[in-house]
Amino acid sequence: MKTAPRGITLMELLVVMGIFSLTVALTSSIFLLSNQAQRRVLAITAAQADLRFTLESIVREVRAGSIDYETYEAAGGIQAPSLNLIIRSASGSRLEFYKETNPSICPAGVAGCLAVRVDGVAQSVTSSGILLENLAFFITPQADPFSIDEDSGLYKADAQPTVTLALKVRTQGRRPEDIVTLNAQTTIAARSYVR
List residues binding another protein (CB under 8 A): 3, 5, 8, 26, 30, 33-34, 37, 40-41, 44-45, 47-48, 51-52, 55, 78, 80-82, 133-134, 136-142, 145, 155, 158-160, 162, 164, 166-168, 180, 182-189, 193, 195
CB of 154 to another protein, least distance (A): 12
If the CB atoms of residues 55 and 130 are measured against another protein, the closer one turns out to be 55
Q: In what order do the strands lie in the sheet with 85-88?
A: 66-67, 85-88, 94-100, 113-118, 121-124
CA separation for the pair 142, 156 (Å, rounded): 9
* Nearest distance in Å: CB 174, another protein: 20
Minimum Å gap between C-beta 24 and another protein is 13
The contacts of residue 171 (CB under 8 Å, 6+ apart) are 43, 44, 46, 47, 129, 130, 131, 178, 179, 180
Residue 120 CB, nearest distance to another protein (Å)?
26
Which residues pair with residue 116 across a beta bridge? 97, 123
Q: How far is the CB of 157 from another protein (least distance, A)?
A: 8
DSSP symbol at 9? -
Nearer to another protein, 123 or 134 (CB): 134
Residue 71 and residue 93 in contact, taking contact as beta carbons nearer than 8 Å: no
Q: Which is nearer to another protein, 115 or 180 (CB)?
A: 180
Contacts 24+ apart (CB under 8 A), 115-122: 116/57, 118/93, 118/94, 119/93, 119/94
CB-wise, 7 or 120, nearer to another protein? 7
Identify which of residues 80 and 118 has a Cβ nearer to another protein in the complex.
80
